[in-house]
Structure 1
Amino acid sequence: MRQITVPTLHCPFEAKISPFVNEIDQHTSSWLHEFNLLQTEEAYDRFRRYKFAWMTARTYPDADLAFLCTANDLNTWLFVLDDLLDHVKPETASYREQAYLQQVISDFVSVLRYDRDIDRVTNPVLAALSDFWNKMRQLSTASWQCQFTLSLKATFEAAVWEAENAKQRKHPSVFQYMQMRPFFSGANLGTDMLEVAAGTSLPVFVLQNEQFQKLVDLARRAVCWANDLFSLSKELAHGDEHNLVMVIGHEQQISLDEAIAQTAAIHNREIAQFNELRSQLPSFGMHIDLAIQRHLDALGTMVRGFMDWSIYDTARYEFNYSRNGNN
């Protein structure tokens, strides 16, 4: 596996971690076994080393234990599916076929839209999603549940786009990739979950405000660009070219090191844009403004949490990190 050096990434947000991290880890380890989501004990050991509980505990550090366990189940479930789609073998090639993925989307949306209970023997992946949704419904509002259902559909529709590109060996433009990446990465699901974790219950006119939506989008993008840097060696090893570094390199015909530097610069520029735009939000009244600031603080902590998990906790990625002063 090629050794990658990631340049210093600017991330001036508070680093925090939930005190429940070990309880989350124990819960999800049992949950994976309960739904038989992995095929071998070696795979279970590998997922334990990925330390997804630390990612969840860092990205939602102030949430309660019930939410954190439920959120970590979702995160782990998404990574299980990501590995199935990324590490295609001859016997799993059908997982990237459009007809198969469209049926998967239909099944997933059906579970959420109709609150379906699925037998774990018949379909462990759907049963695990159903279990997550049964718990999440107890923690969230009906309006949030409708939005999350749409977000899950958007995530897997973007996964179809990614899979079709991979099958046809088609290189998306940098613009196309940057538009689609926050969806097929599941970053949109992460920010949706943050609404419940932070408990801010922002009114719809705030959630639909153009500047507020831009801030949420910038936070999602920052997580994606950092992940593209941290996961680059893994994706090079598996021949997965849906990574901003490789998309930039292909479009501009520049070296890998130059593309890495450009990707880091994009990340840092958009973090700066997040902080600038945050200071320009209109006022919605003191009570709502305080809730918005809490939510934006939580978004920043989520971005920092993913970065710290990638650098300090997980064995999922291999890279050297160039620390140059404060992040």
Structure 2
Amino acid sequence: MAAPKVMINLPNLLKAYGGPSAAVNPHHDDARRASSAWLRGYHLLSEEKQALYECDNYELLASFAHPYSGYDQLRLLCDLFNILFMTDTITDHQSHDAARGTCNILLAAFRDLSMDDNLKFSKAISDFSARYNAMTQSASASQFAAHAAEYLASVVSQARLRETKEVLGLDLFISHRRDNSALRLAFDLLEPASGVTLPCEVYASDKFMDVYLAAVDMIWLSNVNDIYSYPMEKAMGHEGYNVVTVYMKEFNLDVQAAFDRAGREFGDLWNRFELCRLELPTFGEAIDLDVQRFVDGMKAWVVGHLHWCFETPRYFGDMKDSVKATHMVVI
């Protein structure tokens, strides 16, 4: 017998930051058309599945998250977002062994731009990586490759967790989600998108990483398989890998109480982000300006992501406007 449906009051995360609506990059329409055509050219999905995929408008997330980037930078960002969501689309229903095979090939494509295999998706990644490397510094490219490896390893691990139906403890889950959300990959593109290059000493700063991880945690917590996506994941039977389920198990909560806790955690993270950015050390005037631009970029990412969740039908379908207005959803 199917479990009875429950009406859930979602936390109002848009209220947490108290700011205006997110800006959309003025190059959005052109970048979206180009990126969609680029991905479609690899024929990764059937026509029907490709049309459904494009309805979710992942390029709009790029435009919300990077409202001030130039066209070339935004186009690269749109391509990355399409790569990440297509990886999710392809591996989401694969077995552990199948996901491992897929991700091994994709990782090889990130590392070796000259590789030639029969997986069309790897050709798309190689093309993207060549354009990314041409736009950024070698140190940043090395960091991006390392983050790609961590992300793909977590995708394989997630497939194993689906098979075993294992629910991770909270601390391990948070560590895993930081990789699985691919946000470090996305943040790597903040440098070329913002026209800055941060030296290694910035990333080695504990204070900077406090700000950085607060932004990462706000984004995966609000979405990318957690608060806003829980109803969709529940319907697919994938809710085991979700912070709501982790909270229910870790703290013996019902589902509404778990959502409430997640909302409070998001608010705490927002406050931590704003406080820690005021405590950043100085690295020299020129570097400090670049750091502030990068931090502003992370903030735009958090805010833009929240708005995109209610612009795409990916999570709430035709009910997205109603859910945004009422924050009530049936699961």
Instruction: Answer yes or no: is 1:250 the counterpart of 2:222.
Output: no
Q: Matched residues in 2 for 1:2 and 1:139: separation? A: 48
- Report deviation, 1:160: 2.1
- Report deviation, 1:63: 1.3
Q: TM-score, normalised by structure 2?
A: 0.88
Unaligned runs of 5+ in 1: 89-94
Q: Matched residues in 2 for 1:81 and 1:4: separation? A: 30
Instruction: Answer yes or no: is 1:239 the counterpart of 2:237.
Output: yes
State the match for 1:297 in structure 2: 296
Q: Matched residues in 2 for 1:11 and 1:46: separation? A: 32
Structure 1's consecutive aligned runs of 4 or more residues displaced over 6 angstroms after TM superposition are none
Equivalent in 5, 10, 32 of residue 6 of structure 1: 10
Equivalent in 36, 39, 43 of residue 36 of structure 1: 43
State the match for 1:314 in structure 2: 312
- Report deviation, 1:202: 1.6
Q: Matched residues in 2 for 1:7 and 1:224: separation? A: 15
Instruction: Answer yes or no: is 1:193 the counterpart of 2:189.
Output: yes
Structure 2 SS opposite 1:321: helix
State the match for 1:21 in structure 2: 28
Contact 1:32/1:38 (8 A) holds in 2:
no
**1:169/1:208 CA distance change after superposition, 3 Å:** same
Q: Which amino acid aligns with 1:68?
A: L
Equivalent in 97, 115, 127 of residue 113 of structure 2: 115
State the match for 1:45 in structure 2: 51
Q: Which amino acid aligns with 2:17?
A: C
Structure 2 SS opposite 1:128: helix
State the match for 2:64 in structure 1: 58
- Report deviation, 1:101: 3.8
State the match for 1:271 in structure 2: 270
**1:244/1:186 CA distance change after superposition, 3 Å:** same
**1:56/1:3 CA distance change after superposition, 3 Å:** farther
State the match for 1:92 in structure 2: none
- Report deviation, 1:4: 4.7
Instruction: Answer yes or no: is 1:282 the counterpart of 2:281.
Output: yes
Contact 2:110/2:148 (8 A) holds in 1:
no
Contact 1:191/1:216 (8 A) holds in 2:
no
- Report deviation, 1:182: 1.6
CA offsets per residue over residues 158-198 of structure 1, 9 Å max, x none?
A: 12222222211111011111111121111111111112211
- Report deviation, 1:323: 6.9
Q: Matched residues in 1 for 2:195 and 2:287: separation? A: 13
Q: Matched residues in 2 for 1:72 and 1:53: separation? A: 5
Contact 1:5/1:321 (8 A) holds in 2:
no
Q: Matched residues in 1 for 2:281 and 2:221: separation? A: 28
CA offsets per residue over residues 269-309 of structure 1, 9 Å max, x none?
A: 01100111111111222222222111111110011111111
State the match for 1:91 in structure 2: none
**1:5/1:128 CA distance change after superposition, 3 Å:** farther
Q: Matched residues in 2 for 1:269 and 1:187: separation? A: 19
State the match for 2:139 in structure 1: 143
For this pair of structures, how many residues does the alignment match? 312
Contact 2:113/2:127 (8 A) holds in 1:
no
Contact 1:245/1:260 (8 A) holds in 2:
yes
- Report deviation, 1:66: 1.5
Q: TM-score, normalised by structure 1?
A: 0.89
**1:118/1:65 CA distance change after superposition, 3 Å:** farther
Contact 1:63/1:198 (8 A) holds in 2:
yes
Larger RCO (alpha carbons 8 Å, 6+ apart): 1
- Report deviation, 1:115: 2.0
**1:170/1:217 CA distance change after superposition, 3 Å:** same
